[in-house]
Amino acid sequence: MTFSSLQYLSKLTPTRLPVNALSLAIALAAVVPVHAVQAAEAVENETARSYSIAPGSLSSVLAKFAATSGVLLSFDPQLLGDRSSDGIQGSYTVQSGFARLLQGSGFSLLSTGNNSYTVTPQATNGDALELGATTISGQNTAVDTYDGGQVARVARLGVLGNRSINDVPFSVVSYTAKTIEDQQARTVGDVLLNDASVRQSAGFGNFSQVFTIRGLPLTTDDISFNGLYGVLPRQIITTEALERVELFKGPNAFINGVSPAGSGIGGSVNLVPKRAQDTPTRSVTLDYASDNQVGGHIDLGQRFGEDNRFGARVNLAQHGGDTAVDDETERSQLIAVGLDYRGERLRLSTDLGYQKQRINNGRSVVYPTGTKVPHAPSAKDNYAQDWTFSQLEDTYGMVNGEYDLNDNWTAYAGGGAKHTRENGQYSSLYVGNDGSGRVGFLYSPHDEDNKSAIAGLNGHFNTGPVTHQMNFGLSGIWGEQRSSFEAILVANRVPGNLYNPTQTPRPTRTYFGSDIHDPRIVGKNRLKSAAVSDTLGFLDDRVLLTLGVRRQTIEVDGWNTTSGARNANYEESITTPVYGLVIKPWDHVSFYANRIEGLQQGPTSPSTGVTNPNEVFAPNRSKQTEAGVKLDWDSFGATLGVYRIEQPSSSTSVTPGTVLGTFSVDGEQVNKGAELNIFGEPIDGLRLLAGATWMDTELKKTSNGINNGNRAAGVPRFQYNLGADWDIPGLQGAALSGRMLRTGGEYVNAANTLSIPAWTRVDLGARYGFKADDKYITLRANVENVANKAYWSSASTNNNYLTQGEPRTLKLSATVDF
C-alpha cells in the first residue's frame, strides 16, 4: 500500500521505539517539505543568527543546530544512517538553516507549528514511505541526549529556562528516564548516586533522604519540580513519574531563588515529570527486591485531538514487603497524572500527585558518644526498636503555562501547592566505644502546607553583532508548618546495643510539645524574589557572557512547640548577583567560569548568655567561584572543574576577662574541590557514567578558635564513581552493567576527634529486551552492594550522627510495552 507522508501520519500505530529515538522524542504534526522551508527564509518575521558548526555526522550536526537555535528537534538517528554533513557557517534563520543542512540528504523537515520539529524521508504521491518511529515530547521533556540515552544535553535552569548544558557557565548533569529504568532506581537518591559529587545520608530524627553535594547538605524539602520549590514530597521522592533528574552543582540563589529550608548551598536538584508522547505509551512493570519486596508500575500515555494537541500521562505504582534489612518493612503508593496542551502559541500543563509511604522498624541513625567510632555491624543487622515507624503522605499539584508573544519572546507562569502529613516514632541509638549505649525516643507528628508561584518573560534579540538571551522572573513561596512531639529525657533513655540489640517497650514520654492529635503552628515562611539576566553572545556565540541579579526577601515567623510563644520574627532582603562566562574556541570544547551565591536565613542570637541577645542577622550569603572545561564529542561528553565555596557560620566567642560571649556570624567553612565527569558512549556499545571528586575543607574563626583549621564534618577527601553499561556482542537487546562507588574517610565532628573509614561498594546488573507477539519485553536484574559490605556510608555534616550503608539487595523486574 502506498500513500503520502500526510496519509502515513494519519495511520500511525503504536510501535516500540529504539532507545535513542526515545531520548530524542518530540512532537510531530504537519509536513513541511524542504522547498517550503527554503521559501520561509524570506519571511520578514524570521530573525537570522550567526552559526559556526563544524562538519560531522548529519544527526549530530542537526542536533547541535537545534540546540544553538533554541528549537526542539527529534528524530530517529538510524533513519539518517552514516550520512555526513559539512556543517554550517554564516547567518541563517531557523528554517533556512535546516534547509541548508538537509539539502541533498533525501529528508524533509516536519513542524508542529510551536517551535518543534522532526525529520522524515522525502516522498511523493505514489511512493511507498517507511517513516521511522518517532515520539512526542511534551513541554519540558529532553530533546537530545548523549549516545546511550542516559544523560540529556539540556536541563531546566530556573529563571534561565531550558538550556544546553554546554552553553551555560555551570556544572550540570541531567539524568534521563532510561537511566532510572535500567538501574531500577526506586528513589531520587538512587539516581543521584551516579554522580561522584553526591553522597546520601538519613535525615535528622527521621528516615528522609539527605544529599551531600560538594560537601554541603541538600534536603528533599529543597528539591524543585519543574522549577517550583515547595511542591514535592519532603522526605523521600519516588521516580516512576519522572522524565529527568537534573543536578546543578554549586550555590543557586540566583537560578532558583532561596530554597524553603535553606539547604542546597553545594548544589540543587530539579525534577521534570513525564509527558504524553505522540506514540501511545502502554507499559506494565512487575518487580521484586530482596528480601520480599513485591510491586508493580503502570505507565499509560495518550495524545488526543487535532494535531495531537492534548496529552495525558498516568503513572501508578505500588510496592510492599520486607527489605534487605532484617525485620524492616516498607510500603509505598504513587498516583501521578500529567496533562498538557500544546497549541500554535500556547502550551499548558498540569501535574497532580499522591504519594504515601510507610516504613516499619526502619534502621535508625547512630550517635557515637565515646572516644572512637565503633565498627559498623553486619550489613543486614537492624538495631531499631520494633515500635519504630514512619508514615509519610503527600498530595501535590502544579499548573504551568507558556505563551509565545512572537517569534522572539515567550511569557510563562506557574503555580503549585502541596499538603504533607507525617507521623513517626524513632529510636536513635547513642553508643560508646564498644557499641553499648542508650536508646532514644521521639514521636513527632508534622503537617505542612505550601504554595508556590513563578512568572516571567524569556526572549532573544540582536544588537548588531551581539546576541542576547534575556530573562525576567518573579517567584514566591508561602509555607505553614504544624508540629508536636513526645520524647524522653537523656537520663530516661533505656539500655541498647549496636551489636546485640534488645527490644524494649515503647517509653513513656517525659516531656512533650503541643497536642500530638492537633499540632499547633510552629512556623510560617514567605520567600519572594525578582530576577533579571542577560546572556550576551559574541563572535558567532563562541563567547557567552551571563550577567544577572536577583532581589530576595526572606520572612520567617516561628513559635515554640511547647509553650506556643513566638521565638522568631525574621524579615530581611538581600541582592544576589551571578557572573558567568563560556568560551568555545573549538567546536568540541567549552571553557567556563562562574561566580554565584547561595542564601540561607540568617541566625538570631540567643536570648540569654550573650552580650547581644535576640540580635537578628542578615541572610547568610555563601559564595562560589568555579572554572572548568566541557568536552562534547557528539556521542559522549566530559567535564573538568575546580571550585571554591565559602559558607558563613555562627560562633560565640568570649573575650578573656569577661563572663558573657558575643554571638556573631564571623565564622566560615571553606570547601575547595576538583571534579571530573564522563558520560555517554565513547565506544559503540559501551556507555559510561563515571567521575571523581577531590575535596579539601577548612573551618575558620570558630568559637574561641578551638576548631580553627579543622576539616568540616561529613566531608570525605575523595569520592570516585565508575559505572559502565555494555551491549553483549551477538545478542541484540542484551547488556551487562557494573558500578563501583568509592568514598574516602570523613570526620564525624568539628573537633576532628571521631572519624569513619573509607568504603567501597560494587553493583552489578544485566538486562535483555526482545519482541514477542508484537510486544516488547525487557527483563532486568541488578544487585547492589554485591559483597554485602558493612560500612558507615556517611557522617552528618552538622548533627554528629552516622548512617549505615544498605546491605546486598537483589532487584528483578519485567516490563512489557504493548
pLDDT per residue over 364-383, tens digit each? 999 999 999 999 999 999 99
Fold of 273-817: Maltoporin; Chain A (2.40.170)
Q: Nearest Cα to 598, choosing from 496, 693, 671, 494?
A: 671
Q: Out of 318-327, 467-476, 483-492, 656-665, pick the least confident.
A: 656-665
Q: Which segments of 548-681 does DSSP mark as H helices, in order?
A: none
Name residues whose C-beta falls within 8 Å of residue 404's C-beta, 6 or more positions apart in sequence: 114, 115, 345, 346, 410
Name residues whose C-beta falls within 8 Å of residue 142's C-beta, 6 or more positions apart in sequence: 23, 152, 153, 154, 174, 176, 243, 244, 272
pLDDT at 114: 54
Q: Where are the domains of the chain?
A: 1-135, 273-817
pLDDT at 83: 77
Confidence category of residue 122, pLDDT binned at 50, 70, 90: low
Confidence category of residue 135, pLDDT binned at 50, 70, 90: very low
Percent of the chain surpassing pLDDT 70: 89
Q: Report strand pairing: 209-213 vs 198-202.
A: antiparallel
- In which element (H, E) is residue 578 found? strand 566-586
3-state secondary structure of 62: helix
Half-sphere exposure of 177 (CA within 13 A, CB side): 20
Fold of 1-135: Phage tail protein beta-alpha-beta fold (3.55.50)
Confirm if 171 and 266 have CB atoms less than 8 A apart: no
Task: Please say if the pLDDT value at position 705 is more than 50.
Answer: yes
Q: Nearest Cα to 466, choosing from 562, 413, 551, 544?
A: 544
pLDDT at 346: 97
Q: Out of 96-105, 152-161, 254-263, 757-766, pick the least confident.
A: 96-105
Confirm if 651 and 667 have CB atoms less than 8 A apart: yes
Q: Nearest Cα to 325, choosing from 368, 287, 292?
A: 292
pLDDT at 124: 42
Q: Nearest Cα to 672, choosing from 715, 734, 723?
A: 715
pLDDT at 35: 35
